[in-house]
């Protein structure tokens, strides 16, 4: 059997590792942290930093193919790994999604609609960008943002100075505020053979910048559904992508607008664990391992609720609910805003 190497040992790495073992693969995790969620479900944990060249080499040599659960892998580490083993999805997807500016340029280059945007490195850039884009707008760091971190809302031009200060000198991007009716995402997969398969789009609710819930089916017209599938396939094909990608979309009266892409399994795809015969984690492992993609057709309606921070106090009640599938990440300490697990509430017979 082959061995799959996974960069990152968080909950996504954990669920990828479980899916891989179910298909008979072994897994190795590369993760600096000690007691990480994936460490308990993997065959081997390489516990080292991304600047440890010897550890990176040893990891690559222990595996047949390398994938990842987060996009901010240092380029120097990728150079070392890339020379030894295939990295799937490929590096172009990482390069593009590591920087919000590159990502927006790529998406608009494909003819897809995005929020109006401009690069902001200083107060002059910001004033010019606000002049062109207007307010309300959102200033975001170009790199390393997640769960709404590294973002500042600019409701009126007077908020500009504080927003720029919030970026702490990091290169930023100003985005015009999109007036959406709701948010959806589409989890798409592309196999090594070029086949593309999309999961049904999910409707996402965020609170404080963090995903709270995903509901399938999403409120979308048949035309919007088709559009979501076509735009996702457009993105995956353009990158000759192999693996699963999450594409976040704003639904507006003028059509779907792409918010961002994530070159990995995605929190808004966790419903697939209990709504499809083949979930996003298995689909990703299949693609990375060169298997044919599996059947990702939705068989049930599902509401996925993230269990964040002290939501875990409700686990005893949730554990008694009918048709509720709990997925806990084994995190030892609970902090506000920390994703501890999720629950998929399945509607039997629907789908």
Q: Which residues bind ligand ATP (CB under 6 A)?
A: 115, 138, 145-149, 175, 177-178, 183, 206, 209, 248, 259-260
| Cβ count within 10 A of residue 122 | 11
Rg (CA), the chain: 20
With CA atoms as reference, report the closest residue to 293 among 44, 77, 23, 15: 23
- Cα–Cα distance, 268 to 348 (Å, whole number): 20
Nearer to ligand ATP, 175 or 203 (CB): 175
* E strands, the chain, in order: 3-7, 26-30, 44-46, 65-68, 117-120, 137-141, 151-154, 172-176, 182-190, 196-198, 202-207, 210-216, 243-252, 255-262, 301-308, 324-328, 339-347
Answer with the entry of ligand ATP, Mg ion, none that 177 interacts with (C-beta below 5 to 8 A by kind).
ligand ATP
CB of 284 to ligand ATP, least distance (A): 17
For ligand ATP, give the closer residue by CB, 147 or 227: 147
Nearest-approach distance from CB 80 to ligand ATP, in angstroms: 26
Least distance (Å) from Mg ion to the CB of residue 322? 32
Pick the closer one to ligand ATP by CB: 227 or 260: 260
Which residues fall in the annotated binding site?
100, 140, 145-151, 175-178, 183, 206, 259-260
Q: Residues forming the annotated binding site for ATP?
A: 100, 140, 145-151, 175-178, 183, 206, 259-260
Interacting positions 240-279 with Mg ion (CB under 5 A): 248, 260
Q: List helix spans (H) across 175-279.
A: 222-238, 272-275
Fill in the DSSP letter of residue 298: B
172 neighbors 120 (Cβ within 8 angstroms): yes
CB contact at 8 A, 197 and 244:
no
Cβ distance to ligand ATP smaller for residue 149 or 347: 149
In angstroms, what is the minimal distance from the CB of 52 to ligand ATP? 27
Residue 105 interacting entry, from ligand ATP, Mg ion, none, C-beta within 5 to 8 Å by type: none
Contacting residues toward Mg ion, per CB under 5 A: 248, 260
């Amino acid at each position: 059997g082959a061995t799959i190497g996974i960069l990152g040992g968080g909950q996504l790495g954990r669920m990828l590792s479980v899916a891989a073992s179910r298909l008979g693969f072994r897994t190795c995790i590369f993760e600096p942290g000690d007691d990480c969620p994936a460490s308990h479900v993997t065959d081997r944990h390489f516990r080292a930093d991304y600047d440890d060249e010897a550890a990176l080499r040893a990891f690559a040599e222990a595996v047949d193919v390398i994938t990842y659960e987060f996009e901010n892998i240092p380029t120097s580490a990728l150079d070392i790994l890339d020379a030894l083993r295939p990295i799937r999805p490929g590096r172009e997807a990482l390069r593009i999604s590591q920087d919000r500016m590159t990502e927006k340029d790529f998406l608009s280059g494909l003819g897809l609609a995005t929020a109006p945007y401009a690069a902001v490195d200083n107060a002059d850039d910001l004033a010019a960008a606000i002049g062109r884009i207007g307010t309300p707008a959102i200033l975001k760091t170009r790199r390393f943002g997640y769960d709404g971190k590294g973002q500042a809302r600019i409701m009126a031009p007077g908020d500009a100075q504080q927003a720029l200060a919030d970026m702490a000198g990091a290169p930023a991007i100003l985005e015009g505020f999109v007036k959406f009716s709701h948010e959806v995402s589409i989890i798409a997969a592309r196999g090594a053979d070029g086949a593309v398969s999309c999961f049904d789009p999910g409707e996402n609710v965020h609170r404080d910048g963090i995903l709270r819930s995903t509901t399938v089916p999403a409120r979308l017209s048949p035309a919007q559904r088709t559009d979501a599938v076509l735009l996702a396939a457009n993105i995956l094909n353009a990158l000759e992508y192999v693996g699963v990608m999450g594409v976040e979309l704003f639904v507006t009266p003028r059509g779907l607008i792409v918010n961002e892409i994530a070159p990995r399994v995605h929190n808004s795809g966790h419903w697939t664990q209990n709504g499809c015969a083949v979930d996003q984690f298995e689909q990703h492992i299949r693609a990375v391992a060169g298997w044919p993609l599996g059947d990702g057709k939705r068989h049930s309606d599902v509401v996925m609720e993230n269990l964040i921070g002290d939501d875990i106090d409700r686990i005893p009640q949730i554990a008694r609910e009918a048709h509720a599938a709990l997925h806990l990440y084994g995190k030892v300490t609970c902090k506000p805003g920390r994703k501890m697990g999720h629950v998929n509430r399945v509607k039997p017979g629907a789908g």
